[in-house]
């Protein structure tokens, strides 16, 4: 049975069924949904069942689907990857990815408690009880927190064995966060090196940097939905590589000739390229140079090769290749190589493009996105959002609680907007959203819907109490130069603040045109 993932299901629906919703394609889609693998208790499972019900109901009546059913299924299919992401994020009952090893100082348990406040679930375990921990509990662990006192005890060996066990289960060694009361001396650091990749955390260090470590490891480990361009002229080899990658949730596009590679890279924007070394017209070393001529092609390139010639391999590496995998492909080693390349590339990409607290695009990147959209002749809208009285939240509840509100606002925007919209953090408590192919009126309504829901959210403070907060938003047409649009959105935001906050104001694109407060939906 094919191991299909939510993203593959969505691609199939968008690329195959929606353009031609005839019986044959509908049937293929129904089969794919039925054979998809998922945790039967997850919210994604409910969504899968609902899709099947809608499909079966309409297919019993006719050979094609009415527009209303297509719309309904499209909505469900679009939300699948998000449900899956949520499940892996550990929200709706996901397995904890952080394990606290208890008994080696209060610093570690304090850190674990603070992470809990950032909505990161932490499981706890004593080393003497490792034997009773189940595979289920340990296989999702990517970070282990332990107090530094473990370094001076004979239990250090038990901890090493636990870490080894976890890396075998999850095919990745976990990161170790060593919670220390004070700076370590060199001998202690030497002992800590035996634990693998260790991050030292002192009482004065910010908890949010550990939160980032956990969140990033989770994002890096997930291959689901990452895009791979496979360039291979041999149908048999291509089929083999394609199957392995698809089984691990990768979205793969295959081209069978080097001449098609450049166009495919532009259209498909892969996260990684896997390429046969020996191909007609150009071998791998030349192809690597050709692809790297384009400044956009920064993604890793892995070569598949049956040759053992280390000199040729070195040459290819000097031309911009990143790794070699020898044919015939060994399933495990191949996926490991892909994971490690992809995770390194994503880490670099994230540091360059993303805001560390919210993982949204940073200021420069969201502006770049807006500029690119205008340059491509796509009209849309720009929204600037600013949280109301945020300084008071910090002053009343403390900075860490303020941070949590920012993270929540970012998650809320991400969940409420389309995948094609781009979201950035452009200041302390200010966000920008670029909505392609959306008029300011529609963008205003969308932002107002999110505003209304956000205002109803309850945020927890550190004493178990709850509070709510609001945001104001300015919206403008993005059909002109970005600096002018930004001034317009800022002006809309200014009017929203002065009109009483907790509202969205659409600023007219033309000077002197009317600006409007969005009526409640």
Site residues for ligand GH3 per CB under 6 A: 357, 386-392, 394, 399, 402-403, 406, 428-429, 497, 501
475-514 positions binding Mg ion, by CB under 5 A? none
CB of 409 to Mg ion, least distance (A): 11
Least distance to ligand GH3, CB of residue 202, Å: 21
Q: Residue 252 binds which entry of ligand GH3, Mg ion, none, with Cβ cut-offs from 5 to 8 Å by kind? A: none
> DSSP string covering 236-270, please?
HHHHHHHHHHHHTT-EEEEESSGGGHHHHHHHH--
Residue 227 binds which entry of ligand GH3, Mg ion, none, CB below 5-8 Å type-dependent = none
Looking at the Cβ atoms of 385 and 417, the one nearer to ligand GH3 is 385
| Binding-residue pattern over the window 423 to 462 for Mg ion, x denoting contact by CB under 5 A | ------x---------------------------------
Asked if residue 371 lies in contact with residue 471, where contact means CB atoms within 8 angstroms, the answer is no
28 or 455: CB nearest Mg ion? 455
3-state helix vs strand vs coil in the chain, percent to 5: 50, 15, 30
Q: How many CB atoms neighbour CB 348 within 10 A?
A: 12
**Residue 172 site contact among ligand GH3, Mg ion, none (CB < 5 to 8 Å, cut-off depends on kind):** none
Distance of CA 294 to the CA centre of its chain: 26
Choice between 88 and 394, CB closer to ligand GH3: 394
Task: Tell me which residue of 398, 403, 397, 405 sits closest to 469, measured CA to CA.
Answer: 405
SS3 416: helix
Q: Please, what is the minimum distance in Å from the beta carbon of residue 440 to ligand GH3?
A: 22
Q: How far apart are CA 29 and CA 21, in angstroms?
A: 10
Distance in Å, CB of 475 to ligand GH3, minimum: 17
Q: Choose the contact partner of 394 out of Mg ion, ligand GH3, none; CB within 5 to 8 A by kind.
A: ligand GH3
325 vs 320: CA distance, rounded Å: 15
Task: Work out how close the CB of 472 gets to ligand GH3 at its nearest, in angstroms, rounded to a whole number.
Answer: 7
> Based on CB atoms, which residue is closest to ligand GH3, 4 or 406?
406
Q: Which residue is nearest to ligand GH3, using beta carbons?
A: 428
Question: Binding partner of residue 133 among ligand GH3, Mg ion, none, CB under 5 to 8 Å per kind?
Answer: none
DSSP string, 19-30: T---HHHHHHHH
Gyration radius from the chain CA atoms: 25
Task: Tell me if 386 contacts Mg ion by CB under 5 A.
Answer: yes
Angstrom CA distances, 111 to 106, 142, 146, 202, 408, stand at 9, 16, 10, 10, 20
- Residue 58 or 425 with smaller CB distance to ligand GH3: 425
- Residue 363's binding partner among Mg ion, ligand GH3, none (Cβ under 5 to 8 angstroms by kind) is none
Q: How far is CA 260 from CA 93, 253, 504, in A?
A: 44, 12, 46
DSSP sequence for 141-153: --EEEEEGGGGGS
Smallest distance, ligand GH3 to C-beta of residue 208, A: 9
Partner touching 326 among ligand GH3, Mg ion, none, CB below 5 to 8 Å by kind: none
Residue 84 and residue 7: Cα distance in Å, rounded? 9
Residue among 86 and 408 whose Cβ is closer to ligand GH3 = 408
CB of 402 to ligand GH3, least distance (A): 3
Q: Residue 497 Cβ, how far from Mg ion at the closest point, in Å?
A: 8
Task: Please identify, using beta-carbon distances, which residue of 339 and 503 lies nearer to ligand GH3.
Answer: 503
Supply the minimum distance, in Å, between the C-beta of residue 423 and ligand GH3. Answer: 16
> How far is 459 from 118, CA to CA, in rounded Å?
11
As a three-state string, the secondary structure of 289-322 is HHHHCCCCCCCCEEEEECCCCHHHHHHHHHCCCC
CB of 454 to ligand GH3, least distance (A): 14
Ranges of H-type helices in 417-481 = 440-456
Interatomic CA distance for residues 353 and 355, integer angstroms: 7
Specify the residue, 79 or 394, whose C-beta has the smaller distance to ligand GH3.
394
Query: Residue 448 Cβ, how far from ligand GH3 at the closest point, in Å?
Result: 18
Residue 70 touches which member of ligand GH3, Mg ion, none, C-beta under 5-8 Å by kind:
none
Q: Which is nearer to ligand GH3, 235 or 427 (CB)?
A: 427
Contacts (Cβ under 8 Å, ≥6 apart) of 332: 171
Q: Which is nearer to Mg ion, 313 or 472 (CB)?
A: 472
- List the structure tokens of 201: 């955390």
428 touches, from Mg ion, ligand GH3, none (C-beta below 5 to 8 Å by class) = ligand GH3
520 is in the binding site of which of Mg ion, ligand GH3, none (Cβ under 5 to 8 A by kind)? none
Q: Which does 260 bind (CB under 5 to 8 A by kind): Mg ion, ligand GH3, none?
A: none
DSSP 342-406: HHHHHHHHHHHHB-TTT-SB-HHHHHHHHHHHHHTT--EEEEEEEETTHHHHHHHH-HHHHHHHH
Q: Which DSSP symbol is given to 480? A: S
User: To the nearest whole angstrom, how small is the minimum distance from the Cβ of residue 94 to ligand GH3?
Assistant: 26
CA angle 139, 143, 147 (to 5 degrees): 125
Of 12-20, 72-80, 217-225, 388-396, which part binds Mg ion (CB under 5 A)? 388-396
Interface ranges with Mg ion (CB under 5 A):
386-387, 390, 429
């Amino acid at each position: 049975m094919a191991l299909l993932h939510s993203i593959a299901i969505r691609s199939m629906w968008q690329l195959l069924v929606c353009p031609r919703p005839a019986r044959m394609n509908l049937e293929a889609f129904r089969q794919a949904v039925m054979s998809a693998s998922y945790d039967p208790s997850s919210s994604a499972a409910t969504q899968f069942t609902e899709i099947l019900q809608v499909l079966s109901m309409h297919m019993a009546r006719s050979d094609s689907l009415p527009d209303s059913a297509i719309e309904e299924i499209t909505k469900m299919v679009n939300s699948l990857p998000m449900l899956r992401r949520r499940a892996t994020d550990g929200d709706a009952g996901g397995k904890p990815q952080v394990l606290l090893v208890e008994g080696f100082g209060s610093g570690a348990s304090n850190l674990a408690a603070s992470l809990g406040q950032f909505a990161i679930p932490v499981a706890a375990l004593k080393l003497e009880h490792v034997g009773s921990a189940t595979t289920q509990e340990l296989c999702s662990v990517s970070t282990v927190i332990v107090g530094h006192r473990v370094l001076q005890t004979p239990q250090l060996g038990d901890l090493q064995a636990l870490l080894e066990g976890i890396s075998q289960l999850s095919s990745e060694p976990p990161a170790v966060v060593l919670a220390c009361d004070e700076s370590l001396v060199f001998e202690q650091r030497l002992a800590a090196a035996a634990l693998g990749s260790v991050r030292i955390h002192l009482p004065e260090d910010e908890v949010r940097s550990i939160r980032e470590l956990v969140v990033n490891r989770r994002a890096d480990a997930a291959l689901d939905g990452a895009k791979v361009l496979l360039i291979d002229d041999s149908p048999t080899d291509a089929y083999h590589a394609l199957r392995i990658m698809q089984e691990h949730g990768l979205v793969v596009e295959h081209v069978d000739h080097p001449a098609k590679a450049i166009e495919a890279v532009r259209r498909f924007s892969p996260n990684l390229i896997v390429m046969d070394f020996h191909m007609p017209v150009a071998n791998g070393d030349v192809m690597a140079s050709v692809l790297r001529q384009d400044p956009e092609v920064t993604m890793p390139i892995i070569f598949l090769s049956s040759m053992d010639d280390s000199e040729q391999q070195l040459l290819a590496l000097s031309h911009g290749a990143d790794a070699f995998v020898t044919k015939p492909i060994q399933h495990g080693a191949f996926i490991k190589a892909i994971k490690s390349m992809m995770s390194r590339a994503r880490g670099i990409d994230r540091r360059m493009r993303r805001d560390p607290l919210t993982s949204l695009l940073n200021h420069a990147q969201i502006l770049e996105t807006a500029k690119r959209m205008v340059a491509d002749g796509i009209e849309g809208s720009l929204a600037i959002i600013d949280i109301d009285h945020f300084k008071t939240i910090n002053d009343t509840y403390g900075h860490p609680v303020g941070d949590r509100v920012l993270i929540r606002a970012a998650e809320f925007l991400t969940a409420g907007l389309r995948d094609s919209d781009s979201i950035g953090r452009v200041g302390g408590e200010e966000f920008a959203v670029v909505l392609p192919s959306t008029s300011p009126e529609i963008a205003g309504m969308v932002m107002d819907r999110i505003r209304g829901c956000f205002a109803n959210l309850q945020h927890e403070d550190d004493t178990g109490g709850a509070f709510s907060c609001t945001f104001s938003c300015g919206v403008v047409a993005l059909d002109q130069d970005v600096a002018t649009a930004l001034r317009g959105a800022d002006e809309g935001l200014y009017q929203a603040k002065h009109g009483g906050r907790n509202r969205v104001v659409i600023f007219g694109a033309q000077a002197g045109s009317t600006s409007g407060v969005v009526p409640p939906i």
